[in-house]
Structure 1
Amino acid sequence: MTDSEHYQKLKLELRRGVLILAVLAELRDEHYGYSLRKNLSTKGLEIDEGTLYPLVRRLEKQELLVSEWREENNRKKRFYKLSEIGQSTLKKLTMEWNQVEKTLNEILS
């Protein structure tokens, strides 16, 4: 395995947890899949559909999100938002993220 392959593999591992936190944070406001993906991308976090949709379904199964189908512009869309459990979990994960970031910045300096 080359240096570049190692880097790519580790980069993907690092992104996994970050994506969960980003999706939860973005779903403080209601979104359907495309708008969620677009908002994350606009903020600098690219995520492909093959990653996003399984992730939101898993988070909903874990009761962190709730969803409902609605018609918009003559198309049915599934809208997602944080559940009560998702809101409290996001709060705790944000606190954890801030602590990890502070510690890691100290270690990397």
Structure 2
Amino acid sequence: MKAEKIKDQLVYEAQEKDENDSIKRLLADSGYSEKAIDYYLRRPHFGEIPNADIVAELTGSCGDKMKIYIVTVNGMVSNAKFQVMGCAGAITSAMAVVDLIKGNSL
């Protein structure tokens, strides 16, 4: 039984890698940089922050929806996360914005 679970996990990981490789090729062929592709696949700042100091939400003219959660300490951004329902460009941009604002004052 344990060997079967290990086999299933290996098959799942191989399928996930194939899917990620396919997404990487598609985004690269569409002109996305390696850094943008990495943001899209990893989504390092994706999620919500309970009890965030600032929460803002918007819907773009294209229909993409974004919600940002910001935590501040002494007027400086100490943490931020986004929830995004949109295209690869919207998701990638949101992830990059967090890296740009962390450690800065509002």
Q: What TM-score, normalized to structure 2?
A: 0.31
Higher strand proportion (structure 1 or 2): 2
Higher helix proportion (structure 1 or 2): 1
The structure with the largest alpha-carbon Rg is: 2
Indicate the structure whose relative CO is greater, using CA pairs within 8 Å and at least 6 residues apart. 1
